[in-house]
Amino acid sequence: MEDKRSYEYMGFEMTSGVSGDSTNGFCVALQWIRETTQANRINVPIDGIAAGRFRSLENAFDASFDRMRTAIDRQVSAGGTS
């Protein structure tokens, strides 16, 4: 079963899905960002800090949202927002 959470950051909605259990660990199953003013979403690769297995659900979500904040910061720095 996948647990999903969404937050807003700098005009973007971030959504993360984490699956797993306390026996086998947790992993980031999906993550995407979307400008709150547009319907198009941008899939964010599950790599870097968000890759691998985590001991807790909270650690997996923390890593996923850290990875997405980095992607948003790059998008904003490159002028890729509307």
User: What confidence tier does 82 reach under pLDDT thresholds 50, 70, 90?
Assistant: low
pLDDT tens digit sequence for 22-77: 999 999 999 999 998 887 888 899 998 889 899 999 999 999 999 999 999 998 89
The whole-number pLDDT of residue 39 equals: 76
Tell me the C-alpha distance between 44 and 20, whole Å: 20
In the prediction, which pLDDT does 58 show? Answer: 96
The predicted structure's pLDDT at residue 80: 64
Domain boundaries, position 23: 2-73
Q: Is residue 24 part of a domain?
A: yes
Q: Is residue 7 part of a domain?
A: yes
Residue 55 belongs to some domain of the structure: yes
State how far the Cα of 44 lies from the Cα of 14, in Å rounded to an integer: 10
pTM over 0.85: yes
